[in-house]
Structure 1
């Protein structure tokens, strides 16, 4: 009788273990929730954030922390001011706490001033691909990128969002094994501002060893600003607030700072205003030269851009359909003087797409490939109801979509390619001197991607005097 019961008992115990909802982390126990057959831990604090200060290790908690609902978003303007300064949370989706599964870390976009990790559905990779998926919050806008190098004790302020990302990766190194993950197989993946922030890991020495792969969708190191530009953006914010001493920013309300920030941004053109700053300590200047002198042969990078990136922004800021110098300076700062746009709409889309994203993507790919690095380049060109592929349209193919996609077979293909890369496999032919990349569209094929270059355009995408 006992022998007949033991196998069933073993199965019950195994199921109980595989669906255990409490996990011990370095700060204490966390309790998750079962969703769609996997375990999800929402709003885990990965660090503490004091205003304009570098992130610090979260104090230990005594009781089990309930991580069954998403945490607060970073302060931002969404029709009104929302969010909290204590926002450094991550969400973890795991198929089970046993084993050593690859890990993907999603860094959300939103122009460095908006967004949240909860926007992306971690089930897309965790449920069927056995990949632990982590989505993070990081500090945005003035709270993550404001220059305060002249205020003692706040020298890191312009790069605190970079330090937030690195702090999340450190937490993952220390804790992901307890959730069934492999700390030696961590892919950082982002789109738009998320790709830009993630790319900075390449030139941030403190990030070394905390990740093994990057996926950069429509974004690169062109987001790094110089000190002059960072100071100029701070002046705009302080002028809007009516203050003259940067120390006053330490005591203003979140509502006042974010409201003033929204006025400075003035809509879509302000997506370039905030970003990491080259301080040659946390983030190194002239990223391309830094990478030439400091090869990263052990880091694998998958990167690419979309055919008509600019169309999305043109439809948000209609001035871009007929851009004059004032509009171009709004978008590119003093670099706007270098942008020569044709008169026809198709030409404007092509030119702005190149300047916004493609030029910088190809530059980074070429620098990495010249070092014999492991680089894979793509171009997303799948039309959508007769319109060319614009900014962000690849996301539905990678993560799945609630709406029917024009090419469902392509969705299967792209998702599988991303899964293969995250697992450490070669998704297609490596990018090297032959310039071979993957073109997703009609048809999807490997082909030479010649790219675009303008030697007169600087490495930093947005510059101010």
Structure 2
């Protein structure tokens, strides 16, 4: 794997740190009429659920899709959820899964090991079966929650059903200690949770007005990386018919051998160092002992945990499968933001006081790009940028997000339909702290999400930005509906590879979306492709 930063997108950390408030239980209480006629009540095999009815959508929140992964079920594949009697309250989301305590400003509140729940947003009108989008949240596999994503706009304007999912994070989701399972069958519990949620959707979504034969799997950041994994994971085969990958740099993967060694070291550090008793010891520990994530590797100042390749659940790394054509052959919508890495530069500036001086620039590149640092410095000279922060952010944006995504699009498009985009609103609204920086964040990582979901916490969209939001919802919901992104108010979105000049990409911007062919040159992808691993 090429050297590069591995602090993957931490959406919930950003939301908490910057004061974004999200409500997942919009609307008035449900009409208390009888369950036979009340659209707020849905019956599935597990029991009856009472949700929330609003003018433009229905919401059923906090639905368990798997058994609580506690006690003997900790560090195991998820088991089916048990049923209940009477009506279950589905008006509020369940707790977040246990978070990395560092960025979690709520200090563990509203978190629990018993967290395997999902939320379902549907159009207000109950009628014919709608296509379904299952959304996997970001957060570096150590933070985040499906509860963050208020999907009312996609459900109402897009006329689709949206499912947002919680899954195990950090150590509880990915510890790969060899004593926890058969040879190679360790780690990836969070990935298994996502698969369990997809199976639950297949078996139950029709009761909510969704079509189980028309499921699209989507995610951003770590969620986008998860989608990459499901495109190659054997147990995910057949559970979805299309995929959306937003800002998912899928080159970042831990291999089984390294993950096992780091997990052995982690276990020893929490008092479970004897391999003969480690499994029982780890399953008996208080949750607080396991909040700190297991880090599988470190590059520069950043750490990564998450799914493990070379394992029973994920035998092949996604990029290798994309290149050789062995990934699931489904339509793919894929893209990134124009200025991905400015967010992480900004967070370090705000949280750690990093000022990114000219004197520090060579060291930043060395920490990030190793032996390629000199070539990167020549390609991204400080004189070309307004500040060292923007020079560094541009290099990482291109090398670790844009050009990785372009490579993925090229490889996948040789075998299946691919539609590529770049979110290019460099004036996208941001929370107030990001507007106090000495450099602009532009179209940074995660800022496209508030054009699809109601995540609040920033100034409202301008009229032109609202038009862009409407068109993005049209494109995304059109892709979920029939595998082709289309908006009646926007330009036609051509398939990737259909223009010999490059791409094409759809550049999403409030002054008018446009088809472009210069993405690879603009982000200097030939240069990045020529670097040695």
Q: TM-score range by the shorter chain?
A: 0.7 to 0.9
Between the aligned partners of 1:73 and 1:359, the Cα distance in structure 2 is 33
1:53: how far off?
0.6
2:157, 2:473 within 8 Å by CA — same for their partners in 1? no
Q: For 2:296 and 2:229, how far apart are their aligned partners in 1?
A: 25
Per the alignment, residue 404 of structure 1 pairs with: 460
Distance 1:154 1:31 in 2: 43
1:448 counterpart = 2:517: yes
Asked whether 1:276 is paired with 2:307, we answer yes
SS at match of 1:166: helix
Q: Is 2:418 aligned against 1:353?
A: no
> Post-superposition shift, 1:127?
2.5
Cα distance in 2, alignment partners of residues 320 and 296 from structure 1: 42
Question: Does residue 1:431 correspond to 2:496, yes or no?
Answer: yes
Give the alignment's TM-score, normalised by structure 2: 0.75
Counterpart mapping for 1:30-179 below 5 A: 30-48=49-67, 49=69, 50-76=73-99, 77=101, 78-79=104-105, 80-82=107-109, 83-95=111-123, 96-152=125-181, 156-179=185-208
Which of 372, 376, 389 is residue 443 of structure 2 equivalent to? 389
Describe the shift of the 1:326–1:106 C-alpha distance in structure 2 as closer, same or farther (beyond 3 A).
same
- Which stretches in structure 2 are left out of the alignment for 5+ residues? 1-32, 383-387, 429-439, 487-492
Does the CA-based 8 Å contact 2:122-2:160 persist in structure 1? yes
Contact 2:176 2:263 in 1 (8 A): yes
1:6 matched residue in structure 2: none
- Alignment partner, residue 436 of structure 2: none
- Gap change, CA 1:63 and 1:416, over 3 Å in 2: same
Name the structure 1 match of 2:210.
Answer: 181
Q: Does 1:291 align with 2:322?
A: yes
- Do the aligned partners of 2:148 and 2:455 also contact (CA within 8 Å) in 1? no
Query: Residue 321 in 1 paired to residue 356 in 2?
Result: yes
Q: Deviations over 1:75-134 (max 9, x none)?
A: 012232341111110011122443210111111111111111111102121233321111
Residue 199 of structure 1 and its aligned partner are, at CA, apart by 1.7
For the residue of structure 1 that corresponds to 2:418, the secondary structure is: strand
Indicate the RMSD between aligned Cα atoms, in angstroms: 3.2
Q: Mean Cα displacement is larger for which, 336-345 or 425-434?
A: 336-345
Residue 418 (1) aligns with residue 449 (2):
no
CA–CA separation in structure 1 for the residues paired with 2:532 and 2:115: 34
C-alpha change, 1:173 and 1:264, in structure 2 (3 Å) is: closer
Q: Which fold has the larger relative contact order, with Cα–Cα distance below 8 Å and residues 6 or more apart in sequence?
A: 2
Higher helix share: 1
Counterpart position of 1:251: 284
Q: Which runs of 5+ in 1 are unaligned?
A: 1-13, 460-465
Which stretches of structure 1, 4 residues or longer, exceed 6 Å deviation after superposition?
A: 14-18, 262-266, 456-459
Kindly provide the CA deviation profile for residues 245-303 of structure 1, in whole angstroms up to 9, marking residues without a partner as x.
44332222111211x3399999x954x51111113421132323323444557511111
CA distance in 1, matches of 2:326, 2:295: 41
* Distance in 1 between residues matched to 2:505 and 2:426, nearest whole Å: 19
Distance in 1 of aligned mates of 2:265 and 2:366: 15
- The count of residues paired between Structure 1 and Structure 2 equals 441
